[in-house]
Amino acid sequence: MLSTLIQKFNLTLFRSLCPFPVLVFVLSCSEEPKIESFFIPSEYNGPIVSWELPPNWGENPDLSGPMAGSFHVKTKSGPQGRIGVMPFRENVSTVDVANMFGREMGYPPFNKESLAPFLQEKKIGDRTFEWLYLNSKAETASSTPRTALLALLRQEKDTWLFPFIADQKLVREESENFIQFLKSCSLRSEINKPILARSPAPLPKTGKTSSTNPPKNPWSWSKPSTWSEGKASSMRIGSFKVTGPNETKLDISVTSFPGDVGGLLANVNRWIGQIDLAPIQEASLDQYCSTITLAGNSAHLVEAYGEEKAVLAGILFFEKESWFFKLIGNRTLAEKEKSNFMSFLNSISLQAETE
C-alpha cells in the first residue's frame, strides 16, 4: 500500500516536467529498497525549437517582434552582430523576406528576377536552406561594410528564417559556426496542432500599408515624456526605454515583418513565454487579447502580467505585412506606464495623413 502511494505521489510531482525517465526510490515495510523507473510524458504539445550555440556566441534576453531566439558573437570589442530565429507561416515570400533586410543594406526593392542572382540553395545536414547574401551597398568613409546572411528553411507546415547581420568580416569568420548552429537546430512543427496559428478573426484589409516595400517608417507618433530613445537596430522602426526605481526597466519597440508571422496566437504565446507564463490555446486568447482601433484600423491589444514582468502590445495585421508596437519589462513599472503606452498607441497615424 505504501509503495503504491509513493508511486502516485512521484507521478504527480513530475507530471509537468519534460519527458525524461524518472527514477523513484520505493520503500515498504516488507520489501527491500529498490529503484523503479517511470517514463513521464510531457503535457506540453506545442512548438519546440532548440539549438546548440558555438562557444563564442551569447544569447540576447530581448526578443523583438516575432523572434524565437536572438544571439550575438562575443568579441574583444564586446557583443557584435545579430543572429535570430524567426518562425513564419509556410507561404511567406522569399522576396518579402529579402526586402525586409535589403532596405538596411541599401538595395532597391527586389522582385523574383532581380533577387535570383543573390539566391542559392544550401544543403546542411539532411535539410535544404534558401541561402541569401546581401552585402551593404550604401557605404561611406566612416562606415564598415555589412552583410545580411539569410537562411530560410521551409518545412511541411512552417517556415523558419535565420538572419545573421554583422560586419562583412565577422560574417565570413563566423560562417562555419553559423552553419553548425543551423545544423544543431531542432524544430518540432506540431504534435496535435501546427506550430503557428492564424488570427481567429482576420482583420479587414485597408490597403493603406499593404505594399511589399513600405517606407522605413510610415508612422508618426507622440512619445511620452517618461520615455527615452532606446537601442536602434534594423529590426526596430522605433525603440524606446523607461528606467524606474531599483534599476527596473521597460523596453518599447516598433517592428515590421512581412506576412502575418504566424498570426495572433503564435505571437501571444511567444511574448507570454518571455514573462514566464504558460502557453495558451486559441480558445483562450481572450484572456490576454482585446480589439482596439490603431491608426484607424482594427487591431489587437495584448496585455499580460507575470509575477515579475509584463507585456503590452498593439498588433496590426495587413495583407502583406504586420506591425508590432510592444512594451515589455518590470511588471510594476509596466502598470505605471500603461496609460502612457495607450496614449502612444492612440497617437499613431500614417505620416502621409499628418502632412
**Domain coordinates in residue numbering, the chain:** 2-39, 48-188, 219-354
CATH 3.40.1000.10 correct for 48-188: yes
CATH class of 219-354: alpha beta
> Angle at CA 301, nearest 5°, toward 300 and 307?
140
User: Which cell is 343 given?
Assistant: 496614449
* pLDDT digit string, tens, across residues 167-183: 999 999 999 999 999 99
Enumerate long-range contacts of 64-67, CB under 8 Å, 24 or more apart: 64/233, 64/235, 64/236, 64/253, 64/255, 64/326, 65/235, 65/253, 65/255, 65/256, 65/257, 65/261, 65/324, 65/326, 66/257, 66/261, 66/262, 66/266, 66/267, 66/270, 66/324, 67/235, 67/270
Instruction: For residue 61, name the pLDDT band (cuts at 50, 70, 90).
Output: low
- pTM of the entire predicted model: 0.55
Condensed to tens digits (0 to 9), the pLDDT of residues 297-348 reads 899 999 999 999 999 999 998 877 788 999 999 999 999 999 999 999 999 9
Domains 48-188 and 219-354 share a fold: yes
pLDDT tens-digit readout, 109-120: 888 999 999 999
- Give the residue-averaged pLDDT of 46-58: 80
Mean pLDDT of 261-265: 75
Q: Which residues pair with 193 in a beta bridge?
A: none
Rounded to whole angstroms, the Cα distance separating 66 from 265 reads: 11
